[in-house]
Amino acid sequence: MDILKIEGKHHLKGKIAISGAKNAALPALAATILCGGNFNITNIPNLNDISTFLQLLKELGAETDDTGMPQNNLVINTGKLNGYEANYELVRTMRASILVLGPLMSRLGKARISLPGGCAIGARPINFHLKGLELMGAKLHLKEGYVEAKSARLKGAEIYFDTVTVTGTENLMMAAVCAKGKTILKNAAREPEVVFLGEILLQMGAKIKGLGTSTIEIEGIKELKPVNIKIIPDRVETGTYIMAVGACGGELIIENTQPMHLQAVFSKLREMGLTIEEHNNSILVRKKGSLQSVDVKTMPYPGFPTDLQAQLMVLLTVSNGLGVINETIFENRFMHVAELLRMGADIKVEGNRAVVKGVKELTGAPVMATDLRASACLVLAGLAAKGKTSISRIYHLDRGYEQMEKKLSVAGAKITREKTRQHF
């Protein structure tokens, strides 16, 4: 198993290029199920979650050419689609496997998907995905931990989400594009990844209005066509590297990114004292002096993203004053706190609130990653800390960050990946 070793307190200087967004790439891959023909995908991040999704598509009968993956290119053709099941092993490894549900129902009128169960950050049910499909005429049965869905051609419906759900909105958009009649999704997610999926579907021929707003209207059509897709830059990766400068100081140019997608994050980080200059597709970030604490509440887009909460917490641990984080999206997304405490942080958790009192400095320690964003948080903590930090279970990190240690090393961080025989 790999571990990361970090020697902290080295300033960053140079350039980091951002990869394609995992959470935009996964629904884009799912959309290839909607029709046969070659989809040429570029800027696809070379990540474990993408390989897992490709394996799932292959099991469904897709033909894939992933020889270009090291150059971030991929070709998929689902012309010979013949499977309709996402099995327990795959869904357990990656919850986003449920994104095949909507497109399978659209294309084949049947799907058998393992229910995901809970995960490290919360219970994460999929009841809104299922309720939406039922309203569109699907018959659902729960059998042996699997949901079995069937229908003739789905029909349009008016669907209200009790809670904003990203993959729920994406699944039902893909279910609706070829349904009979009009579907209206209310309280829909407005995340850039949802808009991106909508734009792919539009290019494929779908009729969609209201992307980027909380009401999305979709007029079903009979047939879609394959398209070329370029995955948008990863806003969470971008935010993570900006915060890396906050953690250990220096000046970075972050390239191939989309500053518009991070306005809430910039606003908090500027309040804390970071200098952030926005250009067309790049950002310059600079830290001078110490940071001031702020209060943060995670919210659906355009609010502060839950996927950057753990990383921001690291900055609060070494800022002046007291900062309160209110996590409103997931009920158990503070697993990183126990590890930060081992590095000398002063944090008190009460329910979904974490009260973080800035300390003079963190100290390096052996720590363990518990989920993807918690892993990134521990990397930032290692960069900020005095001395050496080793992070185990970094397979979580490899699910969502492309070559993180290489990108950071080139920018001056002291970070290496090592193999260990020890099992943590």
Which residues bind to ligand EPU, rule: CB under 6 A? 23, 26, 96, 122-129, 163, 165-168, 306-307, 329-330, 372-373, 400
| Angstrom distances, CA of residue 381 to CA of 199, 273, 325, 339 | 37, 18, 17, 10
Contacts with 87 (C-beta within 8 Å, 6 or more apart), sequence order: 59, 114
CA nearest to 339, candidates 407, 393, 303, 273: 393
Q: 272, 47 in Cβ contact below 8 A?
A: no
Ordered alpha helix ranges (H), 108-256: 127-135, 166-176, 192-203, 235-248
Q: Mark whether 119 is an active-site residue.
A: yes
Question: What whole-number distance in Å separates Cα of residue 396 and Cα of residue 49?
Answer: 10
CA 307 to chain centre: 7
Query: Which is catalytic among the residues 35, 119, 178, 377?
Result: 119
Check residue 387 and report its DSSP letter: S
Q: 185, 215 in Cβ contact below 8 A?
A: yes
Measured in residues, the chain has a length of: 424
Q: Could you tell me the smallest distance in angstroms from the CB atom of residue 373 to ligand EPU?
A: 5
Ordered alpha helix ranges (H), 188-232: 192-203
CB 338: neighbour CB atoms within 10 A?
14
Q: 193, 166 in Cβ contact below 8 A?
A: yes
Rg (CA), the chain: 21
Residue 84 or 196: the one with the smaller Cβ distance to ligand EPU is 196
Q: 139, 149 in Cβ contact below 8 A?
A: yes
- φ, ψ for residue 289, nearest 5 deg: 80, -175
Question: What whole-number distance in Å separates Cα of residue 302 and Cα of residue 310?
Answer: 18
Residue 258, beta-bridge partner list: none
CB 423: neighbour CB atoms within 10 A?
7
Question: What whole-number distance in Å separates Cα of residue 186 and Cα of residue 198?
Answer: 15
Name the amino acid, one letter, at 183: T
Question: What whole-number distance in Å separates Cα of residue 145 and Cα of residue 140?
Answer: 13
Catalytically active residues are 119
